[in-house]
Amino acid sequence: MIGKLLAGRYRLLEQVGVGGMAIVYRAVDENTNHFVAVKLLRPDLANDADYVTRFQREAEAASKMTHHNIVNLTDVGLDGENRFLVMEYVSGKTLKQVIQEKGRLSPRAATQITIRILSALQHAHENGIIHRDIKPRISWSTMKDISRWPILALRVWPMPRP
């Protein structure tokens, strides 16, 4: 898939993550020349109605999120059999990588990161989204040391209505 142009716009540059349902690529938006992250439903799941529904549900949930600690969804598309979501690209290291490199975080740093993650989760909850996959490898720290929580990289589900 590297080098593929999706929807005449997003050129896939490198794979940056893989999960049970999707593969995430760093890409360039050829209309704006900005880097983006493209989450592509795995090809072997493209014709599975359950996974297509889950992927669409994730897009709908992510579209409700506007928060400074949550990566923004910018586009949703279909290119042939390829279903994809486009989000802002966050460069930096995951929390897991930071902990592996530096070891134990100071209480102050751990508290700041926790507050940012909880703020993002509160926003998701207030928008009817349940987060089901919290882990250090999906929280990024940017060069400005602002933790961003990529809600699109997570399993999100609408909350049951009473």
As annotated, the active-site residues are 133
Find the angle CA(37)-CA(120)-CA(70) to the nearest 5 degrees. 20
Torsion sign across C-alpha atoms 41, 13, 151, 88: negative
Which tokens is 49 given?
């109605």
> Are the CB atoms for 27 and 90 separated by under 8 Å?
no
φ/ψ of residue 137, rounded to 5: -80, -5
Distance between first and last Cα of the chain: 43
